[in-house]
Structure 1
Amino acid sequence: MTQISPSLNESLAGLTSAPIGKAETCRVLEVFAQSDFDILRVKAVQGLRDLKATDSVPLLIQALHDDDEDVRVDAAESLGLLGDTSAIPALIENLTYDPCAEVKQNAVQALGLLNAKEAAPLLRQLVIGRGEEIQWDEDEYHRDEWDGWLDIQIMAIDALAKLKDVEAIEPIMLAVNDPENQDLSVQAMNALAQIGDASLPSLGVCTQSSSRRRRFHAVRALASMSSDKALELLDKALDDPDHDIRILAFETLLRRKPSVELFERALEDNSDQVRMAALAKLDLDQMGYLQRALSDPSPKVQLALVRRLSDAQSGAPITSKEQPFFKALYILFENSGAEVSSSALGALAALAPELIKQELKDLFERSDMPKDEQEQRQWAVVDGLSKRDDVFCLEWLQQACGSASRSVRLKALASIGLLAGKDELDDKVKAQALAVLIAFGRSKSFADEEIEQIDADGDTENEEVEVSTDQEESEEEEAQPDLEAMKDAGLDLGHEKDQSEGPTSSLGAILGHEAIAKDLIEEAEDQEDIGELSLNEQALLNRARRNLRRRKIDLDGDAEQIEQELCLTAIHLMGEHDWTIGQLMAIAQSEQADKALAALEALTRLADRSVDALLSAQEIVEETEGEEAEEFDPRTAIEKVVFTALTSSQMTVQKQGLRLLAKLPQDKLVRGDVFRDLVEKCLQDSESTLRIDAMPAYLVLGGDASRLVSYLQDTSTLVRQATMRLLAQKAPNLAIDHIVDFLLGNPEQTLDSLLGEEMMTKHLSQQEKQRLASSFASKLTNDKAKAEWTIILPAMTQLYA
């Protein structure tokens, strides 16, 4: 077996006898960069790159001639990132003579980063072919079934763009126009834009290409350039047959050279997409433009007009039906299709709710309105009302909580939760909003129960609140779904016997409306460049993705399920407000595990914000049943809640109880002895996730951190990882004592993943890092532990990277 050479051993012995800082770590890596083992040389070169070891550039240049191609690949990348131009001649040599395509790729990238103008002639050759001067591994294509030159061609174009090489324009255009070549539209057009004004004639030619993709990226490149010639070419692009290209040209010209003629041209365009783009920029105070937009035949333009009117009003309330914006929105509400009408009504609900009282009353109380239309309008109204913060809107949001539509109910309840958390809101309105949440969280019927009203001091009083209920649904509402309408919406209804079970589209289920979901999907398919999703859109999409098997679901047909869903949603929202602590503690002792779990999660979130509020909450919960409870003498309400959770038969409730316990300070717990016994039982449980949650609680209760060291040998990988992360946070000295052996015993882990980035960058002192690095380095002189060296070198690097 090959041993590490004596000279390397001697070098290491000198290094590892002193404290190991960043400089010493670089020297250790330099030693291993000359090892007889190729994998060690790779790890060493990667470490020098990550540590930005500029003093090691000569050694890395030497590594460009290594026998192992992986070493050469990493050396080329490292030299580009370190930015030392002395590496340019060696990189050009590798680009010319190294047979490995991957080495050539990294050499091209490095030369671009180093602004190596002397490499431009070679790079130009690579744009159009393999180059007569350049050597290749002729067997590589047949061996790997991939021509590495295709990647190198793109990288060469990018490198020439960084060099702003004017002479590269011709070869780039030759490559673009080669019918047998790969599509270079994106890379070539971006490169021409970076090269500058000398590329304008070529970009102009590309704007007339038969390829829609090439024209689009040529216009986008022109949009990034500021010369008058670029603007002239953009003006011609306003006649392009593709509406996306016309929009791009219009919006760019509008920023650079706005004019009335430009608007007129866009408003007369035959594409509703272009007219929408113009509408988004118009000054709607000019009534002529508003009238033209109102008379546009396209529903998409009308929807854009609704959004434009809402944005133009900037949230300021409309106080009179005579105001032009009110009239315009009302016209769209009365005289448009369902989607536009709903959107307009939602905008009116946001801007002028008191002016449309009758319309709101009809929307929530009429039974003759088509269900889909009613649902769509209710959703839009709730969305509009959620932008308000007055008692009038709160009353209608309460009304919406009784809607027959699940999406409307949940949207309304979430909006009430937001109202309850607004600091600027009147305390009376805020208290009423909290009362609604509590009523749902306690599963009280709005029709039969009085809502507990909360005053500004957090006390409760009984006050009737008029709200509607969905407990008594009419036979019409419980009727079978309209199968024909569902088929028209593109739904897969499956077998005849399953047709009553409801829609299959996950996105439609989450949005609450299949037709809207279908429109959204079609719109996304038509759109080439889709913008970044909002947080709300991301949440909806994530929920939709969970339904992988497209199960048939009926969201509004089960009254018990509806009530339970609203209840759990309300409990979750209650966790955002300190005033609800007492109510949450009562719910946390529910016999229904899902309600108890939701309340415990809410209390845990509250503890993150104000643990003192939890500890000072009054005891209002009912007596806990069972023999164990009789032996427990609670002194605080929160202790009783935690005790109930830890003695639950449901593991999920126990786990959340442990998480809540871990948030409570030990010196404030009256009966910590009882909790210690319960946590000890959890530490011995066979369920690994329960052991994981028990460990932080154990430490909070004053447990000895050294006791947890045994869990570093746990049979569960998750427990071992969690133990090391916890020790790193709570007992770093102890973690350092064991991290080396643990990492070697768990090679699938990295130092970053075990200690955490925050621990590595903020909490480890320089002395602790040196101590840890020395512990790692001590293993490097043991020839019998060579298998561990590939783990140790990256770990030492991560300490100082």
Structure 2
Amino acid sequence: MSELQTFDKVQAKLCELTANSPDIIRCQAVQSLGAIGNKDAVPALIDALLDEDEDVRCDSAASLGEIGDERAIPQLLGNLVEDPCGDVKQQAVIALGKLRSKEVLPYLRTLCVSRDKSITWDEDEFMQGGWDDWLDIQLKSIELLGQMNDEEAIPFILKAIEDENGQDVRSASTASLAMLGTKGMEVLSELLSNRDERLRYSAVKALGSIDKPEALDFVKRALADDDVRIRRLAVEIIAKHNPNDPVLQEIAFANDLELRVEAFRLASIDENTRLKALLDEPDARVQIAIISGLKQGPSITSEDEIIYRLLSDRLSNTADEITAAALEVLSLRAGKLVLPRISNLLVNVDTKDAVLWSCVKALGTMKETKALRDLRKLITNDNRTLRLEALAAINLHASSGRKEALQLLEDAANGIILLDEGVSKETEEAQNQDSNKEVLEDLKAVGLKVDTKEIQDQGPSSTLGSILGDEEKAKDIVDAGSGDETPVKLTNKDLHLLSLAQRIPRKRKVSPDGEGISVNEDIRCFASRLLGDYPRQEVNQVLENCLTSQDNELRRTALDSLSRNLSDELSLSVSAIELIPGLLNEKDPELRQLVYKVLDASYQDEFEAFILEGLKDISIPTRTIVYGIAARRGLVSTEFLEQSLKDIHPLIRSVSARELSHRKDKNVVSSLVDFGFHEAGQHKDEAGPLLRTLNPEQASDELMERIENENPVTWLSAITMLKTIHGPLAA
């Protein structure tokens, strides 16, 4: 059967179902005909406008609006006037609007003001439900009158606006008036003097949408409005239409502070004018707006230039926001000159966080080597946000091809970036071990038996009870030294035990704003994440090194980056492959998922055993990933995937269906059709697109056969899949 014959057969069947099937099937059938969009279905859909079920009538009206055939106009008008259901009326109005029906205009004019008495309404439904369907139809009528360019509707729209007891139609009405040519524009201009500020705001906004000089002239009148929101809106509209408009220059130096901010922010005001204004401007917001317009321009090469002097003066003793704005401009136009000032701000303990962040952002745009050195110092800052911003800035340099920046990221991921105290993670751990040994030796010296392994595993305790292994004895010693009325004389041994109890082992440096995250591990994690954008062998080696860490988050991050970097040309090293069995035995399912993604990205024949074993993973999301890999790599048969379509887990069924659809096998179509019906049609929305791509003709024939021979319960799933197969492609 040809594709055209199949389509005709499907459409004929759907048209038949609009009349001879249960109501829920009729709804689905008319929806599908609308989605398919063929005009041969119009007669059946017109008949469905008279269906006894209001949902069928609603869906039919919507479908006719989508198809756009004028044959539907008379009956749609009939539903608007005679149908008691408000929802059907609204869908009829929308469809008639799409059809540009002139016959509906008189009804729309009346409906935008009140219920049309010539139209039938279900008063009982209003009394029981408490909602007037006309309110929804009113807004839609106002909207359509504008879209249909009905200038005769202007008095009706104004009447709707003036109805103090009605719903708020200001925004919809002014937007509609803006579409009604010169007359609508003139009406909007008259609304600018209305006492209702919300209506004035809507009128200005509507005038701003009209691409005519006269409309812009009306907007300029709003610059004198009493409401600051309206004045600001007017400036925005003027600047959008013409940022060089002379009126913006005037506003920039007027007395209205709010408008001055907007004018300097949005208008194209030249540099000399901005600098002149900056000289004596006291207001912080205006200064920021002035400075924001200085980002573009020639490089600043001398500290004697007035722009440099004015901006560098604002790097200290000013509001943080002003400093940040000045820094941004100077970093873009005077990087080398301003770099020493930035360095000073970074080491100044009084520099606020907002300014520090601006410094980091500025350093990220500078090409000087010293900028990278300053960023490196910030990597280990106690403020987590700041250090991550510093790493992100270094990444900007690396992405532009700077090898030294990429090396910094590699060092950070390797954990060799020094902490503020100059102690690396490796050194920290060594010092911890030395400290533990000292405590052990001291405990033995006072004659105590200690469990060496326990102390080494846990580190020395800071409580005397843990040292002695006897809480009661510890309490006696502590009480003796706490100033009791009858003090006990402490022996030298007791005093030494107390001193041991007060010794605190060295701990890894923890970020105060990172919820207990070790700074070093945090740095390594973020750097590893950034390195996922650099598919190079030396980078991958760094990421592979991270896989030996005991920190799960670091390993997950490194694996994720490796999965993005690896390819047939960039494969895993032998040492990394040796780690795979251990990683796949980890309890963390997310980590295992990432391992499998790495194996897929750099697939080698020796990975087959790992993949096949992963098909039995206890984690369903993990198994889902492995199923996809195994299918793509040809490690499982078509029969295996078909059997998996009946798996008890929906995710497994879905991935199996997706992978099956890539196999050009006639029998696969039948399996995917069955998949669409599985569990009462749970997968019908997934099966439709797969069948459309694989073999739409065969799939349609099989689905039609199901409709002919099976219980109506299955028809919904069949119709849904047919709609997807023959309708427009999903966005």
Query: TM-score band, normalised by the shorter chain?
Result: 0.7 to 0.9
The aligned amino acid for 2:281 is D
The reply on whether 1:771 has 2:720 as its aligned counterpart is no
After superposition, the CA RMSD in angstroms is 2.8
The reply on whether 1:362 has 2:295 as its aligned counterpart is no
2:569 to 613, 617, 642: 613
Q: Which residue is equivalent to 1:563? A: 520
The reply on whether 1:272 has 2:204 as its aligned counterpart is no
Structure 1 window deviating more from structure 2 (213-222 vs 18-27): it is 18-27
The reply on whether 1:188 has 2:173 as its aligned counterpart is yes
Secondary structure (helix, strand or coil) at the match of 1:681 reads: helix
Q: How far off is 1:193 after superposition?
A: 0.6
Contact 1:350–1:386 (8 Å) recurs in 2: no
The aligned amino acid for 1:799 is I
1:441 to 413, 417, 425: 413
Cα 1:19–1:105 change in 2 (3 A) is: closer
Q: How far off is 1:650 after superposition?
A: 3.4
Contact 1:127–1:171 (8 Å) recurs in 2: yes
Q: Which residue is equivalent to 2:74? A: 89
Q: How far off is 1:128 after superposition?
A: 0.7
Measure, in 2, the Cα distance between the counterparts of 1:557 and 1:712.
Answer: 45
Q: How far off is 1:227 after superposition?
A: 4.2
Cα 1:419–1:642 change in 2 (3 A) is: farther
When normalised by structure 2's length, the TM-score is 0.81
Contact 2:23–2:53 (8 Å) recurs in 1: yes
Report how many aligned residue pairs link the two structures.
Answer: 638
Secondary structure (helix, strand or coil) at the match of 1:441 reads: helix
Alignment of 1:472-491 (within 5 A): none
Structure 1 window deviating more from structure 2 (179-188 vs 16-25): it is 16-25
Structure 1 window deviating more from structure 2 (253-262 vs 122-131): it is 253-262
Q: How far off is 1:432 after superposition?
A: 1.4
When normalised by structure 1's length, the TM-score is 0.75
Contact 2:676–2:682 (8 Å) recurs in 1: yes
Contact 1:267–1:275 (8 Å) recurs in 2: no
Contact 1:585–1:599 (8 Å) recurs in 2: yes
The reply on whether 1:693 has 2:625 as its aligned counterpart is yes
1:329 to 303, 307, 311: 311
Q: How far off is 1:149 after superposition?
A: 0.5
1:339 to 287, 299, 321: 321
Q: How far off is 1:556 after superposition?
A: 3.4
Unpaired runs of at least 5, structure 2: 426-509
Q: Which residue is equivalent to 2:593? A: 655
Cα 1:404–1:51 change in 2 (3 A) is: same
**CA deviation string 1:275-329 (max 9, x = no partner):** 33344313333x344222443332222222232112x23xx54222233332232
Q: Which residue is equivalent to 1:377? A: 355
1:396 to 354, 368, 374: 374
Q: Which residue is equivalent to 1:712? A: 645
Cα 1:91–1:413 change in 2 (3 A) is: same
**CA deviation string 1:422-468 (max 9, x = no partner):** 2xx3xxxx2211221122212224266899xxxxxxxxxxxxxxxxx
Contact 1:172–1:188 (8 Å) recurs in 2: yes
**CA deviation string 1:590-610 (max 9, x = no partner):** 343222221111111113xxx
Q: Which residue is equivalent to 1:586? A: 545
Contact 2:327–2:358 (8 Å) recurs in 1: yes
Contact 1:43–1:793 (8 Å) recurs in 2: yes
Measure, in 1, the Cα distance between the counterparts of 2:702 and 2:55.
Answer: 28
Measure, in 1, the Cα distance between the counterparts of 2:3 and 2:412.
Answer: 66
2:613 to 674, 681, 696: 681
The aligned amino acid for 1:326 is Y
Contact 1:276–1:300 (8 Å) recurs in 2: no
Unpaired runs of at least 5, structure 1: 1-15, 452-552, 622-636
Contact 1:706–1:734 (8 Å) recurs in 2: no
Cα 1:181–1:328 change in 2 (3 A) is: same
Q: How far off is 1:559 after superposition?
A: 7.6
Measure, in 1, the Cα distance between the counterparts of 2:129 and 2:551.
Answer: 59
The reply on whether 1:780 has 2:707 as its aligned counterpart is yes
Secondary structure (helix, strand or coil) at the match of 1:614 reads: coil
Q: How far off is 1:219 after superposition?
A: 0.8
Measure, in 1, the Cα distance between the counterparts of 2:568 and 2:234.
Answer: 59
Q: How far off is 1:264 after superposition?
A: 1.1
**CA deviation string 1:160-208 (max 9, x = no partner):** 1122111110011111110011111111001101111112332123212
Cα 1:411–1:377 change in 2 (3 A) is: same
Measure, in 2, the Cα distance between the counterparts of 1:58 and 1:441.
Answer: 68
**CA deviation string 1:660-718 (max 9, x = no partner):** 222344xx43x24xx42x33433223321222122123232622232133322222222
Q: How far off is 1:36 after superposition?
A: 3.6
Structure 1 window deviating more from structure 2 (136-145 vs 772-781): it is 136-145
Contact 2:11–2:33 (8 Å) recurs in 1: yes
The aligned amino acid for 1:77 is A
Contact 2:236–2:266 (8 Å) recurs in 1: no
Secondary structure (helix, strand or coil) at the match of 1:575 reads: helix
The aligned amino acid for 1:348 is L
Measure, in 2, the Cα distance between the counterparts of 1:125 and 1:747.
Answer: 47
Measure, in 1, the Cα distance between the counterparts of 2:596 and 2:668.
Answer: 23
Measure, in 2, the Cα distance between the counterparts of 1:654 and 1:660.
Answer: 10
Measure, in 1, the Cα distance between the counterparts of 2:33 and 2:197.
Answer: 46
Structure 1 window deviating more from structure 2 (742-751 vs 55-64): it is 742-751
Contact 1:51–1:800 (8 Å) recurs in 2: yes
- Higher Cα radius of gyration: 2
Q: How far off is 1:363 after superposition?
A: 1.9
The aligned amino acid for 2:200 is R
Q: Which residue is equivalent to 1:432? A: 404
The aligned amino acid for 1:353 is G
Alignment of 1:33-182 (within 5 A): 33-182=18-167
Measure, in 1, the Cα distance between the counterparts of 2:408 and 2:624.
Answer: 37
Alignment of 1:209-288 (within 5 A): 209-254=194-239, 255=241, 259-285=245-271, 287-288=272-273
Q: How far off is 1:211 after superposition?
A: 2.3
Cα 1:257–1:365 change in 2 (3 A) is: closer
Measure, in 2, the Cα distance between the counterparts of 1:324 and 1:733.
Answer: 77
The aligned amino acid for 2:643 is S
Q: How far off is 1:79 after superposition?
A: 1.4
The aligned amino acid for 2:199 is R
Q: Which residue is equivalent to 2:561? A: 602
Contact 2:238–2:245 (8 Å) recurs in 1: no
Measure, in 2, the Cα distance between the counterparts of 1:589 and 1:789.
Answer: 55
Measure, in 2, the Cα distance between the counterparts of 1:138 and 1:578.
Answer: 69
Cα 1:347–1:746 change in 2 (3 A) is: farther
Between the aligned residues of both structures, percent identity stands at 27
Q: How far off is 1:734 after superposition?
A: 5.7
The reply on whether 1:791 has 2:717 as its aligned counterpart is yes
Structure 1 window deviating more from structure 2 (124-133 vs 642-651): it is 642-651
